[in-house]
């Protein structure tokens, strides 16, 4: 598989390492000074993108126009989701996105969903999310933390909305708070707090590096080849994981 990589930051470098452990080849790399062109796109079997939200739509359209599947871990483009979906449909193209390509995080989110459902049934528990990342991370809260929050909201009768940041007063009972911390070079830690007057439960996912994110994006690229549609990592996992009774 010939892979075009968009982005030469931390994740771009991690993809270099991950691809070196496979039979695949990186055919080109693009950054702010070397932009994706139709001529480059046609050289790739698939494109993996870790850039910024402002570049996503134009890069995706170039890939779709040239019938190249497109995998992205770029975050911060939720407001453009409808336009992106329409673009993929217009070109009958292949697109897969995830806020976090770690398979461990994906399974962690499934645990979060089940925990929210189970503890919500007892009624006396409250919930919160805290995430920690390196000081170079551009967005806050992380896309993964928001994804965890949305997943839990779907199962919580006591919560109706997400609130971000540190509290400047009381947190409303119906709000699920996501707090953030930026320190050092931490790749990513996400904690879910479940608390009552009688006990507390914590679920924690700690990334040891970016290798898991990069490996997951390559796995997603392998899965996407030959498919058409607007997919998430959940679609891939639903296809490959054992069915839960």
97, 130, 133, 159: the catalytic one is 133
Most distant pair of Cα atoms in the chain: their distance = 63
Catalytic annotation present for 170: no
Cα–Cα distances in angstroms (integers) from residue 212 to residues 106, 175, 219, 245, in the given order: 11, 31, 10, 28
What DSSP element (H or E) covers 116?
helix 103-120
Joined tokens for residue 226:
């030959």
| Helix/strand/coil for 101 | coil
HSE-CB of 92 using CA atoms within 13 angstroms: 1
The kind and range of the H/E element at 223 are helix 211-224
- Which residues lie below 8 Å from residue 122, measured CB to CB, with a gap of 6+? 196
The catalytic residue among 13, 24, 137, 227 is: 137
Q: Any catalytic annotation for residue 133?
A: yes
In DSSP notation, 75-99 reads: -S-GGGHHHHHHHHHHHT-EEEE-S
How far is it, in rounded angstroms, from Cα 119 to Cα 135?
Answer: 34
* Range 127-160 burial, b when 16+ CB lie within 10 A, else e: bbbbbbbeeebeeebbbbbbbbbebbeebbebbe
Tell me the catalytic residues.
133, 137
């Amino acid at each position: 598989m010939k892979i075009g990589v968009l982005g030469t930051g931390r994740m771009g470098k991690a993809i270099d390492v991950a691809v070196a452990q496979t039979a695949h080849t990186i055919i080109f790399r693009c950054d702010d000074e070397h932009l994706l062109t139709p001529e480059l796109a046609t050289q790739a079997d698939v494109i993996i993108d870790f850039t910024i939200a402002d570049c996503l739509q134009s890069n995706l359209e170039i890939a779709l126009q040239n019938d190249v599947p497109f995998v992205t871990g770029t975050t911060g483009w939720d407001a453009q989701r409808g336009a992106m979906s329409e673009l993929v449909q217009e070109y009958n193209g292949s697109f897969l996105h995830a806020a976090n390509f770690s398979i461990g995080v994906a399974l962690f989110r499934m645990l979060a969903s089940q925990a929210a459902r189970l503890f919500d049934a007892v009624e006396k528990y409250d919930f919160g999310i805290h995430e920690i990342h390196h000081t170079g991370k551009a967005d806050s809260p992380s896309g993964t933390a928001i994804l965890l929050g949305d997943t839990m909201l779907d199962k919580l009768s006591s919560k109706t909305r997400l609130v971000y940041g540190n509290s400047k007063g009381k947190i409303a009972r119906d709000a699920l708070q996501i707090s953030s911390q930026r320190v050092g070079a931490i790749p990513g830690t996400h904690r879910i707090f479940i608390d009552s007057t009688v006990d507390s439960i914590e679920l924690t996912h700690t990334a040891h590096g970016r290798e898991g994110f990069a490996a997951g994006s390559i796995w997603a690229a392998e899965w996407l080849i030959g498919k058409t549609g607007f997919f998430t990592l959940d679609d891939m996992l639903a296809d490959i994981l054992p069915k839960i009774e």
